[in-house]
Structure 1
């Protein structure tokens, strides 16, 4: 009986989580598209990288394999003291230095670029 419950509940649970993630992504995309594209004076005040590592055991039971991925974030301070953090690619992350000033271009939560002055 426990097996029957797990056999039916776990796939339903996974399906609900998947649908929730998809709906959240679509609503964020729609929100960003409905926002105006803004270009404001800003200063890069912080850079951070988040490294995630996953361990996989080989099917034959001999050894393990590690996968890692890095997410990059930039935090800008705009006029008035507000701070905005954006998820960016590694290339953009590498080009900028804390303390850079310039024009930040964004749309909602979507980072569109930074032109250094």
Structure 2
């Protein structure tokens, strides 16, 4: 059996570099976001819940589906931030709720709803 053709070597080398590069990109970006959030101040502000959404992905064949939950908050200065929220917290938050939002960068910490009388 002879040596592999040059085209095949170049093609497989390119595919290998793209796959490894993709993995490295995901890892570096995740570490960058994680460190940026850790370096951010813990902020507590009055906010109103403006919207909620879920993103479902995967789930074909033998694989299970993944669900991500997001809540959009609006602060008193009219700025908005959408944060990923754990499922157990997501179910307790209702659009229109007003209260104290605590977050660190893009990391949701907690939301305490104000009870209006």
Q: TM-score, normalised by structure 1?
A: 0.85
Aligned structure 1 segments of 4 or more residues deviating by more than 6 angstroms: none
Summarize the alignment of residues 18-57 of structure 1 with structure 2, pairs less than 5 Å apart: 18-55=23-60
Summarize the alignment of residues 1-117 of structure 1 with structure 2, pairs less than 5 Å apart: 1=5, 2-55=7-60, 64-117=61-114
Q: 2:33 is paired with a residue of what secondary structure?
A: helix
Q: 1:113 is paired with a residue of what secondary structure?
A: strand
- Which 5+ residue runs of structure 2 have no aligned equivalent? none
Partners in 2 of 1:79 and 1:96 — Cα distance?
18
Partners in 1 of 2:65 and 2:37 — Cα distance?
29
Higher-Rg structure is 2
Partners in 2 of 1:35 and 1:28 — Cα distance?
11
Q: TM-score, normalised by structure 2?
A: 0.85
Partners in 2 of 1:37 and 1:66 — Cα distance?
37
Task: Please give the per-residue CA displacement for 1:1-26, whole angstroms capped at 9, x wherever unaligned.
Answer: 44333322212111111111111111
- Which 5+ residue runs of structure 1 have no aligned equivalent? 56-63
Partners in 2 of 1:97 and 1:50 — Cα distance?
17
| CA distance 1:7–1:27, shift in 2 (3 Å) | same
Considering only aligned residues, what root-mean-square deviation do their CA atoms show, in Å?
A: 1.4
Q: CA deviation at 1:30?
A: 1.2
Considering fraction of residues, name the structure with more strand: 1
